[in-house]
Amino acid sequence: MSPTTLLAIETSCDETAAAVAIDAGRELPAPEIRSSVIASQVEIHREWGGVVPELASRQHLRDLCGVVERALSDAGVGWTDLDAIAVTQGPGLVGSLLVGVAFAKSLALGLNRPLVAVNHLAGHIESLFLCHPDLALPSVVLVVSGGHTSLYHLPEAGTYRLVGRTRDDAAGEAFDKVAKLLGLPYPGGPAVDRLARAGDERSIAFPVARMTHADRAPGAPTVKPPGFPMSPGRLDFSFSGLKTAVARHVQRHAAEHGRPLNEWETADVCASFQRAVVDALVERAFEAARRFGARSLGIAGGVSANGRLRDVATSEGEARDLPVLFPTLQLSTDNAAMIAAAGLRQLRAGARASRDLKALPTLPIETGSTP
């Protein structure tokens, strides 16, 4: 089998990204990433305190051609050297997704190359294989970001089974909302992580939701591990109550002291809030690993860059003799290299998208691409 050169495009939120990857045609555990280019929109959205969908899609239109051309140049390949095109189909902001999908469809049609539709969450999972080609299977992977908090069981490479998810806010969304509440700059996750280092994480007993009751929010079904009597919802997450608890603490402090939180008090809130989030994530991730007999635990997505999450999960893994793996910081946030890795895996499996591919803002990972 001759090598396959694939161009991947990612525009699911507020990063415009393109990457070129080479599949050498052998049974290698991970492709070679020849280039990975990202144009961030953080500065554009900072003044609004969060991503503005309309602004995001318009900026993708401005940036995408240049980003793709830079990716090709960095990889030392031309348009006709490409063998396939991969693009994020969803989930994400529909206006942003449309830009990438339309570009990829046009390029595939113009070059007469196969098109592969990639689930954004599958990309985050595949970022682990890029960094850890020998990742032991079966595995459990926690995908945690601004828009998603989900647990997946990987019985084998390329198979992703949902076993837990947030019922309300994603963990990264909670970080951003709490940061805004505290007057911290956008993006909120890094700001909270940075300030939390100076705070006392046990100064405030914020609640950690434990999903144990039988009623479930609507959504994709989760998987019951064979041989385990699983209480419904045990592996799900909830962060809306924690966010409300932080808001009430801030309001109560202002009423009692007649002033807003000072720098040290804000640091204590950040540290205590972050501890509650990380404890919930780590507890459920390791419980899922135990139930499914996982030989490794992967943590991917933007929140996987959080310092406390990395430290606590790594220490817990050492105590349990379970490898805990993270992508590099560069591959933790949205990028096209992970889309390339997922796209090449699907291409090898024979997946092809039709020319009338649609962008889907909600796309369960198990369904794969939808023409």
Q: What is the pLDDT of residues 16-43, one digit of tens each?
A: 999 999 997 655 567 999 999 999 999 9
Side-chain-side CA neighbours of residue 226 (13 Å) = 3
Per-position b or e across 212-247, b if 16+ CB within 10 A of its CB:
eeeeeeeeeebbebeeeeeeebbbbbbbeebbebbe
Contacts of 256 (CB under 8 A, 6+ apart): none
Tokens 């943590």 correspond to 299
pLDDT the model gives residue 233? 54
Burial annotation 171-202 (CB, 10 A radius, 16+ → b, else e):
bbbbbbbbbebbebebbbbbbbbebbeebebe
pLDDT of residue 230: 46
Q: What's the pLDDT at 281?
A: 97
> What DSSP character marks residue 22?
E
Nearest to 165 by CA among 244, 235, 250: 235
Report in angstroms the alpha-carbon separations of 176 from 46, 92, 256, 262, 321.
11, 17, 26, 19, 33
Q: Give the predicted TM-score (pTM) of the model.
A: 0.91
- Walk me through the domains of the chain, giving residue ranges and CATH numbers: 4-124+332-367 (3.30.420.40), 137-322 (3.30.420.40)
Residue 263 has pLDDT above 50, yes or no: yes
CA 277 – CA 297 distance, rounded (Å)? 18
Q: Which residue has the tokens 């079904």?
A: 221
- Confidence class of residue 229 from pLDDT cuts 50, 70 and 90? very low
Residue whose entry in the numeric block shows the structure tokens 């991503």? 51
pLDDT in tens, 342-366: 999 999 999 999 989 999 999 988 6
CB 126 within 8 A of CB 342: yes
Cite the beta strand spans of the chain per DSSP E: 4-10, 15-23, 32-40, 84-90, 115-119, 139-144, 149-154, 161-165, 296-300, 324-325
Residue 214 has pLDDT above 80, yes or no: no
The residue among 349, 353, 358 whose CA lies nearest residue 109 is 353
Position with higher pLDDT, 58 vs 228: 58
Sequential DSSP letters for 215-244:
---SSSPPPPPTT--PPTTTT-B--HHHHH
Contact of 200 with 212, CB cutoff 8 Å: no
pLDDT per residue over 95-120, tens digit each?
A: 999 999 999 999 999 999 999 999 99
Q: What percent of the chain has pLDDT over 70?
A: 90
CA distances (Å), origin 306, targets 106, 118, 191, 280:
38, 26, 10, 14
Per-residue pLDDT reduced to its tens digit, 297-323: 999 999 999 999 999 999 999 999 999
What is the predicted pLDDT for the residue at 367?
A: 40
Query: If pLDDT is split at 50, 70 and 90, which confidence band does 49 have?
Result: confident
